[in-house]
């Protein structure tokens, strides 16, 4: 790779000391990122809005502060981008919709505010599926996988996955309601951290389903995800669902390794109905973790089949609630996929929704028993490689055609609100494969410790030759 490409694909961990020492200017770094976005993002379509002028102003401010000895931390001067669900004052926040195309909030979401407080430079807003569900509105663009243009980019945080993988930002924010941090991370070959529900404020983030939505970082290393999470996590009086404790010290023991950790592994869950190349890569990664000193503990997960039928009920009803200002009055402005999703929610009865809520609590109880004996679970992040898609398919597919089986590796961990870490763990036919580590509530720091150790022992992070 050229020096410019090397810089574009660098990690925050490697850039932060260079910025702190004055070797690398935030202005030069931001200018390079903006030039790369201008040169490469046309066909990739990851950005909904590029904020060039404000990004350069923020970079100049960061450079002046650092030169004056006022270094805020490892994110100071680092160019990042956020999913276009996150309110950004004065900037379009469209949520992948047509109904919000003229919406410009007058304040920043808590996550954007906290990342700015950490000194990060905001390059822009990233494209996503309509309403953060599974299909796109024809008023918006469909991001393109940088590894293969005809392959899926992984549900709603698709722009975040593409931009991060393609070296068009050093970190991005995604959201995850049924798999939308993990799907794009797995499909695009990057690291994604879905925190415990309530760890990160949802204030100023457009809802898909409030009781399921998680906001988290997507980066090119576990260390980078840890830094971004620490900067934006913590209690927020504007979001009473946030956890009361302060943000965890994510880097405190990140080099501690996995020796002594108990990692659960359900062989059937990790191989039944899973593509052979994915199952083999996950099993091999478990062996790597065992070789690093982890104790692999056989576990048996509950049958997720019945519970997966509840996820669409919960999500569609809560999506209908989130869009009540526009639907059904402006139903014609919604795309085929999301319009059908809202219509589905409108058909659910109160008893059906209550049944789904009750079964979700059952699932949480069953999973608590599994995690009482382990520190984390190792499993696939998705059951197969990124499948073939066309742009028309992503615009026009409807919920009845969606493969709900894909969600068995993601949605259970939204329903029980657990943290997950998605890591590259192999390649097949030029496409990335991903390992998922799932922890008990509040275990983000331990997950990052394991992910960091796994990355140090392997060499699965690659970058597309763009």
Q: How far apart are CA 4 and CA 465, in angstroms?
A: 12
The DSSP result for 3-32, as a single string, is HHHHHHT--HHHHHHHHHHTSS-HHHHHHH
Q: How far is CA 245 from CA 36, 230, 234, 355, 392, in A?
A: 39, 12, 7, 32, 45
22 upstream amide cis, omega within 30 of 0: no
Max Cα-Cα span within the chain = 62
The active-site residue, picked from 180, 185, 221, 285, is 180
Joined tokens for residue 215: 């906001």
The active-site residue, picked from 46, 156, 185, 443, is 156
In sequence order, the β-bridge partners of residue 124 are 50, 81
**Residue 406: CB partners within 8 Å, gap ≥ 6?**
179, 183, 382, 383
Alpha carbon 430 to its chain's center: 22
Q: How far is CA 369 from CA 277, 355, 364, 373, 443, in A?
A: 30, 22, 9, 8, 16
Q: How far apart are CA 195 and CA 233, in angstroms?
A: 9
Joined tokens for residue 291: 């070789």
Q: How far apart are CA 95 and CA 44, in angstroms?
A: 18
Give the strand pairing for 47-50 and 431-438. unpaired
> Is 83 among the residues known to form the active site?
yes
The active-site residue, picked from 25, 45, 83, 157, is 83
Which residues are catalytic, by number? 83, 156, 180
């Amino acid at each position: 790779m050229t020096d410019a490409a090397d810089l574009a694909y660098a990690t925050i961990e490697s850039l932060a000391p260079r910025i702190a020492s004055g070797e690398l200017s935030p202005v030069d770094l931001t200018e390079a990122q903006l030039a790369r976005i201008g040169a490469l993002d046309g066909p990739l379509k990851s950005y909904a809005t590029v904020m060039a002028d404000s990004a350069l102003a923020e970079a100049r401010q960061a450079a002046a502060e650092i030169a004056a000895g006022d270094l805020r931390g490892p994110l100071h001067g680092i160019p990042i981008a956020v999913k276009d669900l996150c309110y950004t004052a004065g900037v379009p926040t469209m949520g992948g919709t047509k109904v919000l195309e003229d919406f410009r909030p007058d304040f920043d979401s808590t996550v954007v505010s906290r990342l700015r407080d950490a000194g990060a430079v905001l390059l822009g807003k990233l494209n996503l599926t309509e309403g953060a569900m599974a299909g796109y509105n024809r008023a918006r663009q469909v991001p393109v996988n940088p590894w293969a243009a005809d392959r899926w980019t992984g549900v709603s945080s698709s722009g975040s996955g593409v931009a991060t993988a393609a070296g068009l930002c050093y970190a991005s924010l995604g959201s995850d309601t049924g798999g939308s941090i993990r799907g794009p991370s797995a499909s695009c070959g990057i690291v994604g951290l879905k925190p415990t529900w309530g760890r990160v404020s949802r204030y100023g983030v457009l809802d898909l389903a409030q009781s399921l939505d998680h906001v988290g970082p997507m980066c090119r290393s576990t260390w980078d995800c840890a830094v971004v999470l620490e900067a934006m996590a913590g209690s927020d009086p504007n979001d009473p669902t946030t956890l009361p404790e302060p943000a965890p010290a994510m880097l405190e023991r990140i080099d501690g390794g996995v020796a002594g950790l108990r990692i659960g592994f359900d062989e059937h869950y990790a191989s039944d109905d899973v593509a052979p190349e994915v199952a083999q890569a996950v099993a091999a990664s478990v062996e790597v973790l065992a070789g690093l000193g982890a104790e692999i503990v056989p576990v048996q997960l509950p049958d997720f089949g019945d519970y997966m039928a509840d996820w669409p009920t919960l999500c569609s009803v809560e999506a209908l609630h989130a869009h009540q200002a526009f639907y059904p009055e402006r139903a014609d402005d919604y795309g085929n996929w999301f319009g059908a999703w809202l219509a589905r929610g409108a058909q659910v009865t109160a008893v059906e929704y209550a049944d789904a809520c009750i079964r979700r609590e059952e699932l949480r109880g069953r999973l608590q028993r599994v995690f009482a004996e382990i520190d984390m679970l190792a499993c696939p992040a998705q059951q197969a490689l990124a499948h073939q898609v066309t742009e028309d398919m992503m615009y026009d597919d409807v919920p009845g055609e969606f493969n709900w089986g894909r969600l068995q590796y993601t949605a259970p961990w939204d329903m029980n609100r657990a943290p997950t870490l998605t890591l590259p763990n192999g390649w097949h036919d030029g496409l990335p494969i991903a390992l998922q580590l799932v922890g008990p509530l509040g275990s983000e720091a331990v997950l990052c410790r394991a992910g960091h150790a796994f990355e140090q022992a392997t060499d699965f992070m690659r970058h597309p030759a763009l």
